Amino acid sequence: MAGLAGRVAVVTGASSGIGAATARALAAEGAAVALLARRADRVAGLAEDIGTAGGRALALSGDVTDEPGLTAAAERVAGELGRVDCVVANAGLMLLSPFAAGRIDEWRRMVDTNLLGVLLTAHAFLPALREGGGDVVAVSSVAGRKARPTSSVYSATKWALGGWAEALRQELLDDGVRVTLVEPGAVRTELTDHISDPAIREASAARYEAVDALHADDVARAVVYAVSQPPRVSVNELLVRPTRQDY
């Protein structure tokens, strides 16, 4: 029997990159997966692929900054897949820019998505997790440990997740809920495509190329590793860099 058979997972940011790869990997291990992102066509396509491969998936179009929408999503998942016992809060944006450029709209989008979106996601599914135990996996970044020029606000959002995750771990340990922070280095995904400054976008893409960036599947395996442990084992932090990444 597959290692995660009988489990129900929710993955945010499942329309591309790490989230899509994680959803596929959890489903391949037997978990039923709910896929949440704003691009409804992408999550519907992924749900269909997972179904064709013999898995079970529910496509949800949604925005992690929309609190009522997340509550409705939690109700729908409970009704259609059963009690959620694994939440992968992965949705995020990396809009790098020099702080002095003052791209305040981009700061807001990152704080709302990378920080508040993770908190709202975890909170929406908390009653289900506390009912019988499970996992909260937050996808942070190496940028939550190492700051670099142009990453000030992105790093601030990811750094904040570290403090939040450790407090949450302590608050929920008696409920059998484990909290895992996954901190990838450079991963080949769409993440850098959204950087609005062309010079920074191109430099980021070149840096990813130079370090032979990870594939999304490499991070998905780390998530599967953490959530597949026996209940007594809590994998609290996983920093996964490309071998050639020096920062």
Ligand X SMILES: NC(=O)c1ccc[n+]([C@@H]2O[C@H](COP(=O)([O-])OP(=O)(O)OC[C@H]3O[C@@H](n4cnc5c(N)ncnc54)[C@H](OP(=O)(O)O)[C@@H]3O)[C@@H](O)[C@H]2O)c1
Question: Which residues are annotated as catalytic?
Answer: 154
Binding-site member from 12, 97, 151, 245 for ligand X (CB under 6 A): 12
Q: Rg of the Cα trace of the chain? A: 17
The nearer residue to ligand X, 141 or 235, going by C-beta atoms, is 141
Binding segment for ligand X (CB under 6 A), chosen from 25-33, 125-133, 180-188, 228-236, is 180-188
Binding-site member from 4, 91, 128, 223 for ligand X (CB under 6 A): 91
Does position 94 bind ligand X by CB under 6 A?
Answer: yes
Q: How many residues bind to ligand X according to rule CB under 6 A?
A: 30
Does position 108 bind ligand X by CB under 6 A?
Answer: no
In the complex, minimum distance from the CB of residue 105 to ligand X, in angstroms, rounded to a whole number: 14
Binding segment for ligand X (CB under 6 A), chosen from 14-22, 97-105, 173-181, 223-231, is 14-22
To the nearest 10°, the Cα dihedral for 32, 53, 191, 146?
Answer: 60
86-89 β-sheet, strand order? 56-61, 32-37, 8-12, 86-89, 134-139, 177-184, 237-240
Name the 3-class secondary structure at 109. Answer: helix
Binding segment for ligand X (CB under 6 A), chosen from 62-70, 95-103, 125-133, 221-229, is 62-70
The residues facing 105 across adjacent strands are: none
In our burial notation (b when 16+ CB lie closer than 10 A, e otherwise), range 120-130 reads bbbebbbebbe
Q: Fill in the per-residue mask, 146 to 175: x = in contact with ligand X (CB under 6 A), - = not in contact.
A: ------------------------------
Name the 3-class secondary structure at 78. Answer: helix
Helices marked H in the chain: 17-28, 40-52, 67-80, 104-110, 117-132, 152-172, 198-210, 216-227
Phi and psi (nearest 5°) for 20? -65, -45
Binding segment for ligand X (CB under 6 A), chosen from 16-24, 52-60, 70-78, 162-170, is 16-24
Does position 55 bind ligand X by CB under 6 A?
Answer: no
In the complex, minimum distance from the CB of residue 132 to ligand X, in angstroms, rounded to a whole number: 26
Q: Report the candidate in 91, 94, 93 with the shortest Cα–Cα distance to residue 64.
A: 91
In the complex, which residues of this chain contact ligand X (CB under 6 A)? 12-13, 15-19, 37-39, 42, 63-65, 90-94, 113-114, 117, 139, 141, 184, 186-187, 189-191
